[in-house]
Amino acid sequence: MSEKYYFYPRWIRVWHTLNAILCLMLIVSGISLQYSDTDAPVINFQAAIGIHNFAGVALTFNYMIFFVGNLLTENGRNYLMRRKGLRDRLWKQLRYYAYGFFRGEKAPFPVGKERKFNPLQQISYVIVMYAAIPLLFLTGWALLFPEFILKKFLGFSGIFLSAQLHIAMGFLVSVFLVIHLYVSTMGRTPLSNFRSMIDGWQEAH
């Protein structure tokens, strides 16, 4: 029996559950809006607008839990990256996922008290949580209140540019989600990481 760590305190689990539900709602309704079609509607356009607006606003408030929580608690430390040797560490982890993992090698950055995320997890969480999601809800709010957007920028309308940025970030988060879900199945057993997101405890692997 390996060691157990209490990785996910209640506030993280609450935040993360809400976050996951809202993100899924946003992705599905967002795709439905972007690819809205007269013949094959994924969701009725008006309903999709309603869902998307509601979930976007809720996500923004939920994000504040994450942001403030990480400022106030130790958990924020997990999101600090050292630049030195970053590339080597990322490469090592990537090599492990692509090769060593199958050979039954030991993980190069085993999780433990000092380290909750491996370097790849860390960089993807930082990009998504501190760049993509903030950009998403900022541009989202801007589209909700377009009268505050710059009228023109580089010859394009501000609304248009905000929308493109919004779509690009939404896509990035969707890709992240696929990888995130998959990598989460690479715990001790395929389901163990999901269990830890429910009860908070994770076993070392």
Partner 1 sequence: MKLKTGPGYLILLLLVPLLFLYAFNLPVVQEADDPQELIVKGAENNPFSEENETCLRCHGEQKYELTDPVTGMVVRRPMSGSYYIDRDVFYQSVHWSFACLDCHLADYGEYPHALSLRFEPPYNCLDCHGYDETYARYKFEDIETEHLKSAHYTQTNGEFSCWNCHNPHSYQVLAREGKDIFEVVRNSNNMCLVCHGDPFKFGLVSDIEPTEIISTHNWLPNQRLHFKAVRCIDCHTEINDSLLVSHNMRPAEEAVKGCVSCHSSNSILMGTLYKYEAKESRREYGFVNSAIIRNNSYVIGANRSKLMNYGSLLIFGLTLGAVLVHTFFRIRFSKKHHNE
Enumerate binding residues for ligand HEC (CB under 6 A).
Answer: 45-46, 49, 143, 146, 159
In the range 61-120, which residues lie near ligand HEM by CB under 6 A? 75, 78
In the range 33-72, which residues lie near ligand HEM by CB under 6 A? none
Query: 27, 177 in Cβ contact below 8 A?
Result: yes
The number of beta carbons lying within 10 Å of the beta carbon of residue 145 is 8
Per-residue binding letters, 13-32, with ligand HEM (x by CB under 6 A): ---x--xx--x---------
CB of residue 157 to ligand HEC, shortest distance in Å: 7
Give the residues across from 157 on adjacent strands: 152
Of 120 and 132, nearer to partner 1 (C-beta) is 132
Query: 60, 144 in Cβ contact below 8 A?
Result: no
**Residue 8 near ligand HEM by CB under 6 A:** yes
Query: How does DSSP assign 32-94, residue by residue?
Result: HHHT--SSS-SS-HHHHHHHHHHHHHHHHHHHHHHHHHHHHSGGGGGG----TTHHHHHHHHH
What six digits make up the tokens of 7?
A: 């990785």
**Residue 5 near ligand HEM by CB under 6 A:** no
Place of tokens 């760049």: 131
Residue numbers of the site for partner 1 (CB under 8 A)?
33-38, 41, 45-46, 49, 70-71, 76-77, 79-83, 97, 101-104, 123, 126-127, 130-132, 135, 146-147, 151-152, 154-157, 159-161, 163-165, 167-168, 171-172, 174-175, 178-179, 182
Separation of alpha carbons 90 and 110, rounded Å? 14
What six digits make up the tokens of 78?
A: 């997990």
CB of residue 123 to partner 1, shortest distance in Å: 8
Query: 137, 110 in Cβ contact below 8 A?
Result: no
Of 1 and 37, nearer to partner 1 (C-beta) is 37
CB of residue 204 to ligand HEC, shortest distance in Å: 48
Which helix (H) or strand (E) element contains residue 6? strand 4-6
Q: Please report, as a single letter, which amino acid is at residue 131.
A: A
**Residue 137 near ligand HEM by CB under 6 A:** no
What six digits make up the tokens of 92?
A: 């090592």
**Residue 197 near ligand HEM by CB under 6 A:** yes
Q: Give the Cα-Cα-Cα angle 38, 42, 44 (nearest 5 degrees).
A: 70
The residues that touch ligand HEM, with contacts defined as CB under 6 A, are 8, 12, 16, 19-20, 23, 75, 78, 121, 125, 128-129, 173, 177, 180-181, 184, 193-194, 197
